[in-house]
Amino acid sequence: MKPGQGEVLIAEGDVERADEEQCLVEEFRRQLDSGLWAAVPVIDVGGRRESRMVRSFEDVPRDADRVIFFPRAAGGR
């Protein structure tokens, strides 16, 4: 998510392919190192949609179709 842009595709790849997974891992780390939060939209056992915050690439479910990065929360006025 970016101001003035909305959704921006950062990287895409297949985690079953080692080279593409490595690219995804590096991009994931780069986004988190720049201070962003990461979340994966998931569907719980009851069928309801929710989100899972992830702090490392290993936390991302293997079958996740996307990870969304957004600015970290800060106390507002």
Partner 1 sequence: MLLALAATALVALALLSDLILPRLEEAWSRHRARRRRAPAFDYDPGRERRAEQRARALLRSCVNEEEWAMYRDLGFIRVWGSQADGPDDAGGTGGAPYAYMIYPHRPILAYLAQTHRLLAEYCVEFLDDTRPYGSARLPDSDDVLAKWMALTGDERRLIASANMHLAGRQLDPAQVTRDLWRLTQWERARMRDAARSQDLPDAAGGEGRGRARRGDRLPRGDGSSGG
Instruction: Kindly tell me which of 15 and 52 has the beta carbon lying closer to partner 1.
Output: 52
Task: For residues 21 and 12, give the distance between their C-alpha atoms in angstroms, rounded to a whole number.
Answer: 9
Interface pick for partner 1 out of 6, 19, 62, 63 (rule CB under 8 A)? 6
Interface pick for partner 1 out of 10, 11, 52, 57 (rule CB under 8 A)? 52
Site for partner 1 contains 49 (CB under 8 A)? yes
Site for partner 1 contains 46 (CB under 8 A)? no
Q: Report CA-CA distances (Å) from 59 to 3, 5, 53, 56, 66.
A: 27, 27, 9, 5, 13
